[in-house]
Each structure stands twice: as C-alpha cells, then as structure tokens.
Chains A and B, each alone.
Chain A
Amino acid sequence: MTDTWIILGATSGMARAFIRDMAEEGHGLILCGRKQEVMEEIANDCRARGAGFVDLMPIDMRDPDSFAPIVEKASGLSGMTNVAVFTGTMPPQDQIDANPALIDGTIADSFTGPARFLTLIAPQLEQRGGGSIVGITSVAGDRGRLGNYVYGAAKGGFATYLSGLRNKLGRAGVHVMTVKPGPVDTPMTWDLGKQPFMTTPEAVSADIRRGLKRRRNVIYTAKIWALIMLVIRMIPEPIFKKMSF
C-alpha cells in the first residue's frame, strides 16, 4: 500500500531531494505551495520517478483558509498520511528593523502557519494510529543571535510546538521529528558567502530518511551541528550577549 506524503513548501530548494526520494520509493505525493507552474514541473518529474500519484494543492502559510482543502483531500486516501514542512522565509534582520511589519509574515511562514496546519491535520494521523510529521526548523532556533533573531524566534517557536506535538501524538503511535539544518546549499544560501559545515539537499534527505527509519525525535543536519549547538547553548548569557557571529 502506498503511503502519502504531504509536502508543505514543495518548491523549497531543500525539499527537492526529499520529494524525489519519496517519489522513487513509490509514495503518493500531495505537493503544496504557492507557485503552480513550478509545482507542475516538480510533479511531472516525480511521476517519471515512480511516485504512486502526485496531486498539487495551493497553500499560503499566511492564509489559513487554504489549509482545510488539503486536510480534506488527505482524509480520503488509504494508507498512512505523512507531512513534511519546509516553508520558511528569512528576511535580513536589518530589513526587519526598518520595517517591523515583516515580523508577522516571518513568524507565519515558519511557525504559526505550519502549527495551524499541523493542529488541523493531527487528529487524522491520531485516528490512523501512525504516520510521521517532519518539521524543518533551524539551528538558528536554538539561540537568538544578532544576525537573524526574528527568523530564529520563528524557528524556535516551531521547534517548541513540535516537541509538544510529539508529546501528544507519540501516544497514538505518530512519529514527530524535528529537523534542525545548519547551512544547506540552496538558493537561500547561494550568495551569502562561504558558510561553515554546509550540507546539500541530498544529504539532508538522507538524514531525514535515516531519522524516520530510526524514529528519531530531533536531528541536526549536517550532524556536526548537534555538537556545535551544544557548545553554543552552553555559553553563559552574560558572555553570549557580547558575541557577534
């Protein structure tokens, strides 16, 4: 029986490899995003790779009315329902400082939008007694820092939400996994200059799939970031507040 993967943010540069891997494994895909044309290119590619089926659904994280049709669509399918959330935006901190209204959108794209969607679909997974939810957050969510703390706050908020959701859904056999990437070689990071311990969308997908198999709770990708963030989290606040990196 084919399982279904609902992908939120199907046009994400990081999601590209994960979507393809799921297609090659024969799963059904419900690709959700804002750019219909790009999604059609992706859908076509996924069909050729062997996806069980591919459906496209419009979604806008800032417009919760777009959520219900997707949840409804999934409820009609057999097999397990799984969700992977890749949405997020990272406006530069100085733009946010100049225009605080950007905060609302940043939080919606990474946190409140995904949280509302997952809250809406969670009962379905609970009822089926299985399935997985993969939420992409970021190492930036582990500690607020000078360069991107609104983005970091959104990711941190989502990570906390996921940890609670895991607590709740775990009882019903639903696996909720938080994925914290360090820098990934996607358009988001293309012209940001050299990034430390950069990984690729392919490696991220491999890490996610390994995590799914082992039913991990929280994973870092690249792995080294688990260690780096452990150290960064341990820096006492009086020192941390003077650091800029």
Chain B
Amino acid sequence: MRWKTDSYAGWGRALRATGDLARPDRRADLDSAIAPAIGKRRSYGDAALNDGGRAIDMTRLDSILSFDEDTGLLEIEAGMQLGDIVRVFSPRGWLPPVLPGTGFATVGGAIGMDVHGKNHHNAGSFGQHVTRIRLLQGDQRRTITPRNRALWQATLGGLGQTGIILSATIQMKRCAGPVMTVTERRAEGWDEHIAMLDASTASYCVGWIDATATGQALGRGIVEEAEPARGLIPRRGAPKAVPLDAPHFALSAPIVKAFNALYYRRVPDHGRTVVRSMPDFFFPLDKIHDWNRLYGKRGFHQFQCVVPLGEKDRLRDMLDLIAGSGLASPLAVLKRMGAGRAGYLSFPMEGYTLAVDFPARAEAPDLIATLEQMTVAAGGRLYLAKDALATGERIKAMYPDWPKWRDAVNAADPDHLLETDMTRRLTLRSPA
C-alpha cells in the first residue's frame, strides 16, 4: 500500500486529523489490518479519524461480488456506497433493506455504525439484514456470521474495532418499482407531530422539524410517509457543489428562520402526494455536494439522541431549549424508532429520535452538553455517528452492553491497532 500524509476531517469538519492515508485500488493491495478502515467519512465527529496514525480508505474496494436474483442475497465489498447499490438494483426490483440519509455511506460505514433509516420502526437496523461478513484481522481473513455471537455483536455498530470489513452479504428487499410515492402533511405543533408519527402505518416515515419555531408552533414540521412504487423516474437535476467555505453568516438565525418557514409552507396545508426518485427521497441532501461547507471553516455539530417512548415530554423540553437558543440550523429530524438493533453499541432503542445541526460556534458545546444531560435523565442515548463532544463516562452510561463490546474488541484487536480518535476520546477500549 502507498501512504501519503494528509489532513482530513469528519463530516462536521469541527474535528480534524493529520496522518498517513492509503487507499488500496485492488483487493490484493490490502494485505493486513494494521490501521483502522474508513469509508466516506460521513460520520460527523471523529469515528473515521486517526490523528498522528494511519487509516485505510476503503472506498475503492467497492465491487459487487455476487447477487442471487432468487433469494436477494447480495455480496459486496465494504467500500461500495449504498447509493450505488440503489442505482444498480432498484430498477431490477431490489432495494437495500435499510438506507441512511446519505447515499455516500459505504457498506463498511453502515455496518460500523449499524445505521438506521426512515423505515427503522418496521425494518430495524442495517446490521439486522447482514448475514455474513468477511473480516481482515491482522493478516488473517475470516468469515463471521451471527453464530459468532460476541464477535458478531461487537462488529455490528462496532466502529470498525474488530477488524477491517472486506465484504458483507446483505439480504436485499423486494420493491414494487423504482420510484417512491411520498405523502407530505403539515404538523402544526409538537403534539400533532408526535401523534402523526405514532399513527403512521407507512413503510417509511419521518418528520422534518422546524427547530426554530417557538411557542404554539414549537415542534411544527412536515411528516413524510412513503412507499416504493412503479412509475417513471422523475428527472433529477445534476448535482450542485458548494465550491467554497461559506461565510459564517450564511446560516445565521434570521436566514435559517426564513428558510424553515419557506420549507414548511412548501407543502399545502391539506398536504400532498408526490412521486420522487429513490435518491431524491432517501438522500435529499446528496444533491448538493459538500454541503457541509455551508457552515464555513469552523464546521458544525449534529446532536442526535433517542429517548424511550414514555419520555417524549423530555424530548419536547430539549426542543424548547434548542428553539430558544437561536443556534439551530435548517436540518432537524424527528422520527419514531422501533427496537431493532444488531450490536452491543448500536444506537437504536424503541422511542423517538431527534437530530439537529448546530454551527460550531462558541455557545454550541454548552448547549449540546445540556442536551446530553437531558438525554441521560430520560434514559436515552447519543448516536456515535454524530457525536464529537461527549465524554466517555457519559457514553458508557448510555450503552449498558459497552463492557461486552470492549472485551470482544480487545480480544479481536489485542494490539489496539484499530483505535481511532473516537475510541481514544471516549476511552472506549479502556478497562473502565
């Protein structure tokens, strides 16, 4: 492998690293797991960073290995992006069972974070549809399945700490056609929003929330419900790119407020049903490449927590705090989650999840710390794919299976070659 020294960042760009990177182009180039593997670095914080060390970029090991048209079992290399799987297979009537909000996420990253999608309430997490994984541990290749119990559960959502994921087999799902019919309705406030999410029977369901609305309008937003369908694929405009870091006022409070109001009114008050292409529905933000640059040089943070169903009032309190802070950005999501999760450190729990972006301004860490405290009090947890600021103590308290994960991981990688900035920051591989 050829190494180069470079500086790189998580998606939020608030955390950076400088270190040696390799990006093998061919399977044979990758002969041993001497450094953590990283995907498209769509994790916001430091999960895919290794400051002062090495990291192996897996994005060019992205071949399809096999697909069985009868069973829907798809074996792909870890660097393949989920959006590419959608592009190749949805016209043939198959869809990955779980898709996060960006099609750039790789299979390795989707496993490393055990990602969830807009159908989590009925499909569970990504890892629950993975049937086998090829791992590179040291210079040994091995295949693991759910039968490898502890190692399996430490790998799914396991931050890449059990070995480099070379390839995986996933159970694809039949879909009716290559487009989505999407029904959008306004929710005028918090209670209505929650009630609509609770009542939904759609396969895919998510709420967009205007995190700047206060008072009566607190929690207002748009609930989106969708089903795959037959039809003609609507034309998608060519992707746009953000060429430069935006000035810091680009996402200032008045602009965000105006944007959110427009976004909300876009949907007529009696709602509407539209047909969207798969990428437009699943990955709306991917249309603007490098949109993270809109937050300027300092970058941004995303806070995402989940709280149990019974704690929705505490979630409302969090939203109240956020709306009052004047810090929130246009992108806020509220979703009802099911219980499905595949690994010891998987994020999902049955309840409601809220995700909000904050520019990395001086006030942000304090606000986020308060929100973390409120999450703990509600018996909820933070999502490691988004976290950049938490402490190890807090995370360990949220993840009761953490000791099992640590033991399995330390057995799988005894020399700690796969540690990242995140595992060090959160002391996830230490005895306590």
Contacts and interface: CB of A to CB of B under 8 A. Distances in A.
Contacts of B2: 187, 190-191
Given A191-B2, A191-B3, A191-B4, A13 B25 contact: yes
Interface of B: 2-4, 23, 25-28, 60, 63-67, 87-88
Contact of B65 (A11, A13, A16, A44): A44
Q: Most chain-A CB neighbours within 10 Å: which of B2, B60, B87?
A: B60
Contact of A48 (B3, B66, B87): B66
Contacts of A16: 25, 60
B3 A41 contact: no
Given A49-B88, A191-B2, A38 B28 contact: yes
Top-3 shortest CB links A-B: A48-B64, A45-B63, A191-B4
A187 B25 contact: yes
A162 B28 CA distance: 35
B4 A41 contact: no
Contacts of A37: 28
A186 B24 CA distance: 10
B25 A44 contact: no
Interface residues of A, number: 18
Contacts of B25: 13, 16, 186-187
B64 A45 contact: yes
B63 A44 contact: yes
B88 A41 contact: no
A69 to B, nearest CB: 25
Nearest to A186: B25
Interface string A185-198: 01100110100000
Nearest to B65: A44
Given A190-B4, A190-B23, A49 B64 contact: yes
Contacts of B65: 44-45, 48
A16 B64 CA distance: 13
B319 to A, nearest CB: 39
A143 to B, nearest CB: 28
A29 B155 CA distance: 38
Contacts of B3: 191
24 contacts: A13-B25, A16-B25, A24-B88, A38-B26, A38-B28, A41-B26, A41-B27, A41-B63, A42-B63, A44-B64, A44-B65, A45-B63, A45-B64, A45-B65, A48-B64, A48-B65, A48-B66, A49-B64, A49-B88, A186-B25, A187-B2, A187-B23, A190-B23, A191-B2
